[in-house]
Amino acid sequence: QVQLVESGGGSVQAGGSLRLSCRTSEFTYSRYCMAWFRQAPGKEREAVVGIYIADGSTYYDDSVDGRWTISRDNTKNTLYLQMDMLKPEDTAMYYCAADAPLCRNRGVYGSTWHLPQEYNTWGQGTQVTVSS
């Protein structure tokens, strides 16, 4: 069974940076679609960035585009989210998600990456708090 383990959350002042990590237990990681979602108190879970691991295609929400960067280390089965220029409105619980063991809807992933139902595996979340 695929497991996702996030780490790297914390508290930072506005303008600061954090790097989140998401480690997966499965060697078939390279065929996943993966994404980072966030959920603030009282709000719906929203996608911030998605990636098709096999070819590195990435998709960013407008709210983070230009500030954050998703990357992966295939040798470590780990996904990263480098978050720069953090804002108070970025405060949320951040979740790593995967469609595993195979990205089922690769052909339309560019249009569907932001939908929670695209993913069948979720991590436990890591808290990010940005103070002004």
- Does the pLDDT at position 38 exceed 70? yes
Average pLDDT over residues 37-63: 96
Closest CA to 45 of 37, 57, 54: 37
Rounded distance, CA 11 to CA 16, Å?
10
28 pLDDT band, cuts 50/70/90, is confident
- Does the pLDDT at position 27 exceed 90? no
- In this predicted structure, what is the pLDDT of residue 61? 98
- In this predicted structure, what is the pLDDT of residue 14? 98
The number of C-alpha atoms within 13 Å of 83 and in the hemisphere containing its C-beta is 32
Q: What percent of the chain has pLDDT over 70?
A: 99
- In this predicted structure, what is the pLDDT of residue 25? 84
- In this predicted structure, what is the pLDDT of residue 37? 98
Tokens of 36: 């980072």
pLDDT tens across 97-123, in order?
999 888 998 999 999 999 999 999 999
Rounded distance, CA 13 to CA 58, Å?
27
Residue 117's CB is within 10 A of a number of other CB atoms, namely 8
